[in-house]
Structure 1
Amino acid sequence: MFYEICRIILHTVYRLLFRYKAYGTEHIPEQGAVLLCANHISNWDPPLVGLPLMRRVNFMAKQELFKIPLLSQVLRYLGAFPVKRGATDKKAIRTALSRLQEGKVVVIFPEGTRSKSGRLQKAYSGFGFLALKQPCTVIPVAIIGPYRLFRPVKIIYGSPVNLDDLRVEKITKQEAVLATERIMNSIRQLLENQQSNTSEHNGRSFGNSV
């Protein structure tokens, strides 16, 4: 109940402030483990990824936030768990694996930290290991910003990333790296498709105005 109340409140806030729009939610299975892998451009990202979905999401949040007593409790009620920034956090990955084993939806940001330029950064291979270790549906997610008051922000959920050929009995660093690259390429494709569509729309608008 607490989660749903917070989701409704945040949904209203994001709609009013950022006019957010979501696409591709039909790619999210109604049941079973799901790993949502998104680009990271702002502190506003984590709630946004879960807002359009009917399923409850679990997500990694920087560990500094869990040092604030009241906020820490709220984050945990909302399904968040701490992760150390700047490196692969094995404890956070174990927690994410546990949530996936329970058939839950987990949100991760493979870049590990926000991109100040908005461009996709290099990802940590540990997240590729996570995607391979536990059978789950891996969904690439593209967040199209920037976040500006009363300007549209888009979130796009892509088709599942096929990693079946990399799911071997003993996962090595090579498989983890390949999985990470495949996931990041899927996110990059979503971003590039959006940029291409925007350019075409602007071109048509310019042509019509002449």
Structure 2
Amino acid sequence: MTLYGFARSAVNAVLKPIYRYEVIGRENFPKEGGVLLCANHIDNLDPPVVGITAPRPVYFMAKEELFNVPVLGKLLPKIHAFPVKRGMSDREALRNGLKIIKEGNVLGLFPEGTRSKNGELGKGLAGAGFFALRSSAEVVPCAIIGPYKPFRKIKVVYGKPINIQELRDRKASAEETTDMIMNEIRTLIDAYR
């Protein structure tokens, strides 16, 4: 078993009894090929919860500062995380993300860029649209419906892949593409809340 597989099993064993998450729409997830997985962001537990509920391994961007923490910095790359400098355009992180997709893997993003303070869906940043337009990834929306309270169920909903070919064909902006992705996430939240 890989370290990723071991970490996934260990985190699941700890979180599942506490948050009793219900996973909906796992069948919507493409079985192969590059995927851009875009989820809302309501808690620090979102990355591990998405990582253990998605049917395929997920690669996440993590803020660069985490890679400077002694043990954590060495562990993060082994569990499919790579650094991003926040608050600026990080070309290296963008290249890494595109490479992950091109190699047929799943890139997980939280388009809002930070946790929601009130649990409501915020505005998405252009990065999600950038990855969607610059790759041939299937774009899967994901809604995390909380709040995270011990022994209360949360829902993780995977929607059908979003058809963004028309946006690619007419060279739409990254902002417009991100808005479309965020609308799909909002639709899932409204449908399953």
TMscore range, shorter length: over 0.9
1:12 CA displacement: 1.1
Preserved CA contact (<8 Å) 1:87 1:112: no
Matched position secondary structure for 1:40: coil
Aligned position for 1:208: none
Whether 1:183 aligns to 2:181 is yes
Matched position secondary structure for 1:59: strand
After superposition, the C-alpha distances for 1:80-107 in whole angstroms (9 at most, x for unaligned) are: 0112334443322221101001000110
Aligned position for 1:200: none
Give the TM-score normalised by structure 2.
0.94
Matched position secondary structure for 1:51: helix
Aligned residue pairs: how many?
192
Whether 1:154 aligns to 2:152 is no
Aligned position for 2:44: 43
1:54 CA displacement: 3.6
Matched position secondary structure for 1:123: coil
Structure 1: runs of 5+ lacking an equivalent: 196-210
The CA distance in 1 between the partners of 2:157 and 2:90, in whole Å, is 27
Aligned position for 2:21: 20
After superposition, the C-alpha distances for 1:7-60 in whole angstroms (9 at most, x for unaligned) are: 111111111111111110111111110110000011100011121234211011
Query: Which structure carries more relative contact order (alpha carbon 8 Å, separation 6+)?
Result: 2
Aligned position for 1:205: none
Aligned position for 1:110: 111
Range moving further from structure 2, 97-106 or 49-58: 49-58
**Structure 1 residues 114-153: aligned runs within 5 Å:** 114-153=115-154
* Structure whose alpha-carbon radius of gyration is higher: 1
Aligned position for 1:70: 71
The CA distance in 1 between the partners of 2:185 and 2:142, in whole Å, is 6
After superposition, the C-alpha distances for 1:146-165 in whole angstroms (9 at most, x for unaligned) are: 11111111100001111001
Aligned position for 1:6: 7
Measured at CA, do residues 89 and 146 of structure 1 come closer, stay the same or move farther in structure 2, by a change above 3 Å? farther
The CA distance in 2 between the partners of 1:114 and 1:92, in whole Å, is 20
- Amino acid of the residue matched to residue 180 of structure 1? T
Percent of aligned pairs with the same amino acid: 47
1:132 CA displacement: 1.0
Give the TM-score normalised by structure 1.
0.87
Over the aligned positions, Cα root-mean-square deviation in angstroms equals 1.5
Matched position secondary structure for 1:129: helix
Preserved CA contact (<8 Å) 1:86 1:112: no
